């Protein structure tokens, strides 16, 4: 795997695909700068070598050129994080951009305008990729969040740097962390899959059954399994058309000696709202008019035992509706168990939008071995797919 360490960037211009798709408030201020901070080590290394940096990213899903999606809104924050005054050019291709790139001196940073202002970016257009490639000497991909997209700036551009293309530090870390779970894991390995739907996790479950010893299933998808097993789930969320599939997954797991752990009790509510009436009930005896919105105390005890005996832990998806305070306990406690196991030497990897939001919200992020920056990209890697953005560098 070719990384930053393999190149001395002295007097070289590095074109870096970063993922600066960060949330902005109504005044266009950056609300969460995690993704910008995550790219800093890569940028620092290149500048320290005596090179210069051309940053390219997308922001949001613009339809053509839209002021609110301009990357100019993040220039000040990026300058502050990097400790370098970031230059900005109001386009990402064309004469003005070429001039700005050509005039860039060692130690300087140039940020290009939103790549998705051009439909050619998402179309993976050759000509567009070639124009971006012409701006620098080395191509660095450090955007895990978009590595599963075969876009011009994530995949096609790499063809123009046959010898000079490398993974940035963030992307290299993401690949190593996932490899640690999927290929080089220390046993016992436990995967915790939560969230509302079985359908969105099917391929992940099928791919990881060969790699894990324990699979904890939580969140809304619990009820598809419980109903398939003949339980009463009241008004809980359920994918009726996936019940047969749930039974197949249980049978496959048994065949492969994987222990599946489903909740045994839940916090049930008489409405989908924070101030609903609640009670603890057995997961397969939820009364009509009630729905399971969080894991119950006995379930958490069971999960704790499994997690504290694990050496490798993958967490994707919450155990309950953690956005509502009264149904956040299961997700918080799960995070605490994983943090405790990590402290005792287990390797823990957290990924997928909701789990990442949860560990950040509850202050658990520093207690995990690694928190992934790419939801969709991580899911596809867990499904066993080779991501186009990664294949392009390895090629």
* Structure confidence by residue, pLDDT tens digits, 75-116: 999 999 999 999 999 999 999 999 999 999 999 999 999 999
pLDDT in tens, 345-379: 999 999 876 888 899 999 999 999 999 877 778 88
Q: Which residues are annotated as a binding site for substrate?
A: 19-21, 35, 58-61, 116, 149
Which residues are within 8 A (CB) of 100 and not within 5 positions of it... i.e. 6 or more apart? 87, 89, 110
Residue 9: cis peptide before it, omega within 30 degrees of 0: no
Is residue 50 annotated as part of the catalytic site, yes or no?
Answer: no
Q: Which residues are annotated as a binding site for ATP?
A: 201, 292, 323, 352-355
Is residue 353 annotated as part of the catalytic site, yes or no?
Answer: yes
Q: What is the pLDDT of residue 349?
A: 95
What residues are paired with 111 via a beta bridge? 55, 88
**CA within 13 Å, CB half, 279:** 8
pLDDT in tens, 127-160: 999 999 999 999 999 998 889 899 999 999 999 9
Q: What is the pLDDT of residue 356?
A: 87
pLDDT in tens, 154-213: 999 999 999 999 999 999 999 999 999 888 889 999 999 998 888 888 888 989 999 999
Q: What is the pLDDT of residue 278?
A: 98
241 near 202, Cβ under 8 Å? no
Roughly what angle, to the nearest 10 degrees, separates helices 34-49 and 75-82? Answer: 60
pLDDT in tens, 7-62: 999 999 999 999 999 999 999 999 989 899 999 999 999 999 999 999 999 999 99
Q: What is the pLDDT of residue 385?
A: 86
Is residue 376 annotated as part of the catalytic site, yes or no?
Answer: yes
Q: Which residues are annotated as a binding site for (2R)-3-phosphoglycerate?
A: 35, 116, 149
At residue 392, what are phi and psi to the nearest 5 degrees? -65, -30
Mean pLDDT to the nearest integer, 333-348 = 97
Mean pLDDT to the nearest integer, 211-235 = 96
Please state, as a whole number, how many other Cβ atoms lie within 10 Å of the Cβ of residue 56: 26
| Entry pTM | 0.86
Q: Is 62 helix (H, G, I), strand (E, B) or coil?
A: coil
Q: Which of 65, 197, 360, 385 is catalytic?
A: 197
Mean pLDDT to the nearest integer, 246-255 = 96
Sign of CA dihedral 209, 214, 218, 222: positive
Q: What is the pLDDT of residue 353?
A: 63
Cα distance between residue 351 and residue 383, in whole Å: 13
65 near 91, Cβ under 8 Å? no
Q: Which of 12, 35, 45, 165 is catalytic?
A: 35
Cα distance between residue 224 and residue 21, in whole Å: 34
Backbone torsion region of residue 22, taken as left when φ is above 0, otherwise alpha when ψ lies between -120 and 50, otherwise beta = beta
All domains of the chain, ordered by start, with CATH?
Answer: 4-167 (3.40.50.1260), 175-382 (3.40.50.1260)
pLDDT in tens, 268-312: 999 999 999 999 999 999 999 999 999 999 999 999 999 999 999
Is residue 195 annotated as part of the catalytic site, yes or no?
Answer: no
Q: What is the pLDDT of residue 220?
A: 94
Reported as type and span, the H/E element at residue 357 is: helix 353-361
Strand order in the sheet with 265-269: 278-282, 265-269, 291-295
Q: What is the pLDDT of residue 378?
A: 84
């Amino acid at each position: 795997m070719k990384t930053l360490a393999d190149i001395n960037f002295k007097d070289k211009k590095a074109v870096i695909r970063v993922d600066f798709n960060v949330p902005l408030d109504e005044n266009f201020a950056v609300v969460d700068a995690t993704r910008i901070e995550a790219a800093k080590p890569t940028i620092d290394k290149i500048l320290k070598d005596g090179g210069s940096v051309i940053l390219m990213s997308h922001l949001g899903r613009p339809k053509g050129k839209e002021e609110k999606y301009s990357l100019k809104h993040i220039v000040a924050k990026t300058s502050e994080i990097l400790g370098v005054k970031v230059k900005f050019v109001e386009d990402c291709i064309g004469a003005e951009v070429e001039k700005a790139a050509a005039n860039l001196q060692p130690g300087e940073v140039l940020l290009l305008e939103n790549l998705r202002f051009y439909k050619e970016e998402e179309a993976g257009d050759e000509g567009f990729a070639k124009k971006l490639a012409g701006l620098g000497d080395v191509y660095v991909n450090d955007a895990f969040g978009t590595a599963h997209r075969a876009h011009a700036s994530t995949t096609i551009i790499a063809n123009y740097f046959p010898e000079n293309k490398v993974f940035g530090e963030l992307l290299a870390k993401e690949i190593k962390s996932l490899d640690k779970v999927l290929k080089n894991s220390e046993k016992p390995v436990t995967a915790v899959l939560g969230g509302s739907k079985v359908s969105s996790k099917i391929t992940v479950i099928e791919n990881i059954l060969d790699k894990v010893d324990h699979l904890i299933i939580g969140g809304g998808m619990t009820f598809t399994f419980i109903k398939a097993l003949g339980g009463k789930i009241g008004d809980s969320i359920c994918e009726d058309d996936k019940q047969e599939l749930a039974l197949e997954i249980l049978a496959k797991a048994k065949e492969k000696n994987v222990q599946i752990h489903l909740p045994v009790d839940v916090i049930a509510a008489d409405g989908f709202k924070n101030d609903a009436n609640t009670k603890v009930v057995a997961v397969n005896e939820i009364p009509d008019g009630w729905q399971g919105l969080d894991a119950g105390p006995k379930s958490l005890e069971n999960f704790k035992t499994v997690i504290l005996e694990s050496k490798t832990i993958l967490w994707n998806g919450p155990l309950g509706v953690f956005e509502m305070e009264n149904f956040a306990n299961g997700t918080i406690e799960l995070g605490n168990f994983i943090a405790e196991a990590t402290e005792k030497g287990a390797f823990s990897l957290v990924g997928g939008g909701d789990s990442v939001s949860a560990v950040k919200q509850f202050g658990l992020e520093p207690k995990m071995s690694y928190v992934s920056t790419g939801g969709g990209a991580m899911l596809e890697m867990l499904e066993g797919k080779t991501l186009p953005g990664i294949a392009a560098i390895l090629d």
